[in-house]
Amino acid sequence: MLSKKATIHAIDVMGELFPEAECELVHKNPFELLIAVVLSAQCTDALVNRVTPALFEKYQTPADYVNVPVEELEKDIRSIGLFRSKAKNIQKLSQSLIDQYGGEVPRTRDELVGLAGVGRKTANVVTSVAFGVPAIAVDTHVERVSKRLGICRWKDNVKVVEETLMKKLPEEVWSDAHHRMIFFGRYHCKAQSPNCSTCPLLDECREGKKRMKERLTKA
């Protein structure tokens, strides 16, 4: 398991590799970000970004989503996976924003997770990116990188991964660490073919060293 010091070093190295790391979902305000993150569940940011320009031009407020038949909204997001359940959730959360928050996106994680289709990860992304509250959202990339590097254990669930990262990293770097780990996992430490041989973290990575040893054995 990586120590606190080694974990901070790993995040620093990721920052050197990806100094531009930031949220890749295109949005202009917290409401657009909330919708984009809900749409991104089990879907790539790139696909969401192809759908949202037209979507955000047509629907600019919670009321806009509520005031159309769900079938129309389904058609507008049809190219995104799970579009039927996402359309229902978007209408439900939009109604909740109108009824409970005056049409505004709430700022706390506890309030956000009370909205339809919003889990802990989505809430952490919104509070961090939209409102600047330190948070670590654990998506598939963050989980994979954390486990490969040995920051946490293979058996840990996403909540434990989040808690472990929060313990090992200073609060002021939580949000940056989240984006760096996503970029590192998306573009370098990929699920199927990680770039272990050229990785600056190879010496600290238990999974990388195991993979390189297996390559030498097969050679």
**Active site members:** 121, 139
Is residue 196 part of an annotated ligand binding site?
yes
Q: Is 152 annotated as a binding residue?
A: no
Whole-angstrom Cα distance, residue 65 to residue 49? 18
Residue (of 7, 24, 9, 2) closest to 183 by Cα position: 24
Long-range contacts at 20-24 (CB < 8 A, ≥ 24 apart) = 20/183, 21/176, 21/179, 21/180, 21/182, 21/183, 22/179, 23/125, 23/129, 23/179, 24/49
Q: At what angle do helices 158-168 and 4-17 cross, to 10 degrees?
A: 100
Q: Residue 184 corresponds to which tokens in the numbers above?
A: 């590192």
Residue set of the binding site for [4Fe-4S] cluster: 189, 196, 199, 205
